[in-house]
Amino acid sequence: MAKGGQTPKDPASPEMLAAWRQMEAGDVAGARREARRILATQPSPEDRAQAEELLRRTQTPLPVYGFAVLVLAILGLLVALALSRY
């Protein structure tokens, strides 16, 4: 869930303000969808910058995927060891 106070002081448009408020309310998927919709409609430079910033802030960090692969590998190894004992 997003922390309060992350909305820029001067959202470029009402659409961007709505996207930032969605993110602050915890609806990250909805905020990302709204930002992508804004980017698809030839936005002003300010809207474009803010939409790209919102998408950048809500992107899943790459180390999370590496950690998930590591956990799956360890779990697979543990299951293989457990099955080999029977």
Average pLDDT of 77-84?
Answer: 96
Report if residue 28 sits inside a domain: yes
CA dist., res. 17 & res. 9, Å (int): 10
Asked whether residue 40 is domain-assigned, the answer is yes
Report the number of distinct structural domains present in the chain: 1
Confidence of residue 14 (pLDDT cuts 50, 70, 90): confident
Q: Is 51 among the domain residues?
A: yes
Domain that holds residue 68: 14-84
pTM above threshold 0.85: no
Query: From residue 47, how far is each of 25, 40, 56, 67, 74 by CA, in Å?
Result: 20, 11, 14, 34, 44
Q: Is the pLDDT of residue 82 over 60?
A: yes
Enter the tokens of residue 8. Answer: 């820029």
> Is 6 among the domain residues?
no
Instruction: State mean pLDDT over 2-8.
Output: 57
Q: Is residue 9 part of a domain?
A: no
pLDDT, tens digit (0-9, with 9 covering 90-100), for 23-71: 989 899 999 999 999 999 988 889 899 999 999 999 989 999 999 999 9
